[in-house]
Amino acid sequence: MNKLIQIAVGMMGAAFTSGAYAAWETNLTKGVTDISHEVYDLHMLVLYVCIAIGVLVFGAMIYSMIYHRKSKGHKAATFHESTKAEIAWTIVPVFILVALAIPAAKALIKMEDSSNADLTILVTGYQWKWQYEYPEEGISFFSNLASDSREASARDSGIDPATVDNYLLEVDNPLVIPVGKKVRFLFTSNDVNHGWWVPDFAVKKDAIPGFINDMWANVNEPGIYRGQCAELCGKDHGFMPIVVIAKEESEYNEWVEQQLASAKETEAAANKTWDMASLMEQGEKVYTTSCVACHQAGGQGIPGVFPAITGSAIATGDVAGHLDTIMNGRPGTAMQAFAGQLNDADVAAVTTYQRNGLGNSVGDMVQPSDVKALR
């Protein structure tokens, strides 16, 4: 027992003093948009109103508890109503509420007006990643949890999360937006409800399959802003962060050029014939970003929830059936259609990897051209 207490005290002592953990943030962020400043001011206003009322009410209770007690010989009064007092404490709160509601309504109307945007970005939630599309620029990519965070978050990984940069708040491909522009976000989902939240922008909106929501932000300062999925969306709800990099307009334009150039390279890669080693290498990469959350690192799945890849009838059977499952998904289950998420080379690589890795050894290869033929 003593030992247990020692360990507990030791753990807490270590945790509270370690530099990496020393963050005692207690309040809402002010954020980096005019709207987020307004929201912060409203938050502080209503907080102060509550504290003032609290001081009055709790003050009266505590005074009464100290002075109006039987042990002090206080005799009970007999009053049990006062129309004047009761009217007063009905009317006065109404005035306070009106005073709060007016600025809140003004802020809300501004927040919901996403007209005249300079740039539109379509955000699609997936279990468990985000897709960002810039319809005007023709850019589209997925944003997954960074691999070092994913490794450290595994049970018994032996990696101290404090040693991982921005643990659970880092992604492979961040969203990039220009500063000083009104950016309109459109939200939807490919599977279940998600919630896109960046506290510094005071933007939180649900991404709902079949519907499109919108919200906007005009960021004042360049920087990296982090958020998380806010709406419970299944097993890895806590593992689909959001990272937005706000850049000066010139840097943003450079980034757009780079994206367009790398899209061309990917296209070229899809047209060549791949050898087994490079398919397996690329396949493992795709597997760890797109498949591992459900089917697990060793391909064993989670019994009863997500089927195994290792030894599965689909992954060791006919290649056409395997490709169909990957590309078109399984309706009514959590298995998504990856045809729209992965390019030809990636589908070919991950299919080959699943057939020849993870304990399987079918021996055949799938080429990007095979995938292209099925589109």
Partner 1 sequence: MNAHVADTHEHHGPEKGLMRWITTTNHKDIGSLYLWFSLIMFLIGGVMALIIRAELFQPGLQFVDPQFFNSMTTMHALIMIFGALMPAFVGLANWMIPMMIGAPDMALPRMNNWSFWILPFAGTLLVATLFVEGGAPASGWTMYPPLVLQTGAAFPMLIFSVHLLGFSSIMGSINIIATIMNLRAPGMTYMKMPLFVWTWFITAYLLIATMPVLAGAVTMLLTDKYFATSFFDAAGGGDPVMFQHIFWFFGHPEVYILILPAFGIVSQIIPTFARKPLFGYSSMVYATASIAFLSFIVWAHHMFTVGMPVAAELFFMMATMLIAVPTGVKVFNWVSTMWRGSMTFETPMLFAIGFVMMFTIGGFSGLMMAMTPIDFQYHDTYFIVAHFHYVLVPGAIFSVMAAVYYWLPKWTGNMYDESLGKFHFWISTIFVNILFFPQHFVGLAGMPRRIPDYSVQFTDFNMISTVGAFGFGLSQLLFVYIIIKTVRGGEKATDQVWEGAEGLEWTLSSPPEYHTFTVQPDVK
Which residues within the stretch 213-252 sit at the binding site for partner 1 (CB under 8 A)?
213-214, 227-239
Query: In DSSP terms, which residues pair with 133 in a beta bridge?
Result: 122, 140
Least distance (Å) from partner 1 to the CB of residue 354?
22
Measured between alpha carbons, how far is 87 from 72 in angstroms, rounded to an integer?
32
For residue 225, give the H/E element and its range.
Answer: strand 223-229
- Decide if residue 93 touches partner 1 (CB under 8 A): yes
Measured between alpha carbons, how far is 88 from 94 in angstroms, rounded to an integer?
10
Least distance (Å) from partner 1 to the CB of residue 82?
8
Q: Pick the closer one to partner 1 by CB: 13 or 138.
A: 13
Least distance (Å) from partner 1 to the CB of residue 3?
17
140-176 burial, b at 16+ Cβ within 10 Å, e below that, comes to bbbbbbbeebbebbeeeeeeeeeebeebbbbbebbbb
- Decide if residue 30 touches partner 1 (CB under 8 A): no
Contact 125, 189 (CB under 8 A): yes
- Decide if residue 116 touches partner 1 (CB under 8 A): no
Residues 247-286 that bind partner 1 (CB under 8 A): none
Q: Pick the closer one to partner 1 by CB: 193 or 316.
A: 193
Measured between alpha carbons, how far is 11 from 160 in angstroms, rounded to an integer?
13
- Decide if residue 323 touches partner 1 (CB under 8 A): no
Residues 124-183 that bind partner 1 (CB under 8 A): 152-155, 157, 159-162, 166-169
Least distance (Å) from partner 1 to the CB of residue 212?
8
- Decide if residue 79 touches partner 1 (CB under 8 A): yes
Measured between alpha carbons, how far is 349 from 282 in angstroms, rounded to an integer?
6
Total residues binding partner 1 (CB under 8 A): 107
Q: Pick the closer one to partner 1 by CB: 206 or 251.
A: 206
Residues 36-55 that bind partner 1 (CB under 8 A): 38-39, 42-43, 46-47, 50, 53-54
Residues 290-309 that bind partner 1 (CB under 8 A): 302-305
Residue 274: phi, psi to the nearest 5? -100, 150
For residue 44, give the H/E element and its range.
Answer: helix 34-67
By CB under 8 A, which span of 68-76, 261-269, 283-291, 316-324 interacts with partner 1?
Answer: 68-76
Q: Which of 258, 262, 271, 333 binds partner 1 (CB under 8 A)?
A: 333
Q: Which of 2, 3, 116, 210 binds partner 1 (CB under 8 A)?
A: 210
Contact 372, 270 (CB under 8 A): yes
Measured between alpha carbons, how far is 210 from 191 in angstroms, rounded to an integer?
9
Contact 200, 225 (CB under 8 A): yes
Q: Which of 6, 7, 10, 16 binds partner 1 (CB under 8 A)?
A: 16
Contact 177, 252 (CB under 8 A): yes
Contact 183, 245 (CB under 8 A): no
By CB under 8 A, which span of 202-210, 249-257, 309-317, 348-356 interacts with partner 1?
Answer: 202-210
By CB under 8 A, which span of 69-77, 117-125, 278-286, 367-375 interacts with partner 1?
Answer: 69-77
